[in-house]
């Protein structure tokens, strides 16, 4: 019996090791450096850990008679750490999106911030209708309060803005856009009487701080009630 066990051990040691999927993956990526977070992100993460005085640590019991047995420490924060604005961001100092894996994604602007739900509902409640057209004259977004002056559907998204106006207005729209692209004009205003309502329509050229054209913002508002105001009402 002992000889059979010895023979089986020798046979097992003589066998070639089977290549596992992990070995194959490691071989493929052996020359690929692991991603490293930016130093400022690591510094903030370390500071957050150091400041977490409410952490509770549990220690795994030592193996019997072995003072050198490995120890496992499990830290559980008493509460979720505050969001770190630089954990994962995109954009510039003029505006960024921050994601920390804990809190809702935040849109960071020069004068404050929103999470996505807040921003969506702020835009929905504005007392005017907005449409954004990018620098290729393509419709990318519009606000929807449920009572737009000119109703729109998402079918317009991705279409050239010229194709979203009546044929008799296309020439004027193209002239406005051409002036915006060239920098000749920065805005254009129109107002019409539509079924007893005074509608104010404004177009604004959007540029970055360097003056590069980013697109056009259309702002439409029913100003009938505003025109009828008299006197004053103080807060």
Tokens of 191: 């107002």
Residue of 65 and 105 predicted with greater confidence = 105
Cα(227)–Cα(40) distance, integer angstroms: 53
Range 97-121 average pLDDT: 84
Domain boundaries for CATH 3.30.450.20 within the chain: 127-227
Q: Is the pLDDT of residue 11 over 60?
A: no
CATH C-level class of 127-227: alpha beta
pLDDT at 48: 66
Query: Which tens digit of pLDDT belongs to each residue from 172-215?
Result: 999 999 999 999 999 999 999 998 999 999 999 999 999 999 99
Phi-psi region of 65 (alpha: psi -120 to 50; beta: other; left: phi over 0): left
Query: Which tens digit of pLDDT belongs to each residue from 17-58?
Result: 555 555 655 565 555 455 455 566 566 667 766 766 454 444
Cα(161)–Cα(149) distance, integer angstroms: 17
- Worst-scoring range by mean pLDDT, 94-98, 131-135, 214-218? 94-98
Instruction: Give the closest residue to 189 by CA, choosing from 157, 151, 217.
Output: 217
Q: End-to-end alpha-carbon separation of the chain, Å? A: 100
By the 10 Å C-beta count (0-12 exposed, 13-18 middle, 19+ buried), 80 is classed as exposed
Per the DSSP assignment, residues forming a β-bridge with 156 are: none
* Contacting residues for 145 by C-beta, under 8 A, at least 6 apart: 124, 125, 126, 129
pLDDT at 71: 47
Range 106-128 average pLDDT: 90
Phi, psi (degrees; rounded to nearest 5) at 134: -80, -175
Assign 106 a pLDDT band (cuts: 50, 70, 90): confident
Range 125-146 average pLDDT: 94
Three-state SS for 57? strand
Tokens of 184: 């000749």
Q: Are the CB atoms for 22 and 34 separated by under 8 Å?
A: no
The 3-state secondary structure of 201-231, one letter per residue = EEEEEEECCCCCEEEEEEEEEECHHHHCCCC
Three-state SS for 58? strand
Three-state SS for 177? helix
Q: How many CB atoms lie within 10 A of CB 96?
A: 17
Q: Measured over all CA atoms, what is the biggest interatomic distance in the chain, rounded to whole angstroms?
A: 111
b/e sequence 116-128, b meaning 16+ C-beta within 10 Å: eeeeeeeeeeeee
Tokens of 44: 């903030």
pLDDT at 220: 95
Q: Is the pLDDT of residue 168 over 50?
A: yes
């Amino acid at each position: 019996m002992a000889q059979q066990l010895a023979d089986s051990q020798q046979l097992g040691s003589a066998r070639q090791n089977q290549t596992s999927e992990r070995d194959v993956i490691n071989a493929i990526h052996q020359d690929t450096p692991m991603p490293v977070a930016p130093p400022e992100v690591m510094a903030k993460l370390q500071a957050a850990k150091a400041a977490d005085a409410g952490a509770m640590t549990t220690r795994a019991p030592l193996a019997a008679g072995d003072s050198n047995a490995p120890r496992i420490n499990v830290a559980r924060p008493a509460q979720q750490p505050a969001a770190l604005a630089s954990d994962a961001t995109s954009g510039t100092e003029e505006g960024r999106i921050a994601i920390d894996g804990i809190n809702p994604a935040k849109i960071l602007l020069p004068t404050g911030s929103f999470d996505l739900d807040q921003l969506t509902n702020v835009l929905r409640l504005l007392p005017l209708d907005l449409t954004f057209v990018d620098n290729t004259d393509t419709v990318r977004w519009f606000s929807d309060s449920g009572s737009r002056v000119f109703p729109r559907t998402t079918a317009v998204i991705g279409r050239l803005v010229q194709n979203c106006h009546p044929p008799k207005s296309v020439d004027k729209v193209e002239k406005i856009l051409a002036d915006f692209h060239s920098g000749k004009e920065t805005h254009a205003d129109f107002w019409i009487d539509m079924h007893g309502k005074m509608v104010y329509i404004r177009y604004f050229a959007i540029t970055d701080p360097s003056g590069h054209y980013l697109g056009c913002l259309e702002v439409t508002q029913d100003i009938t009630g505003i025109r009828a105001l008299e006197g004053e009402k103080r807060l």
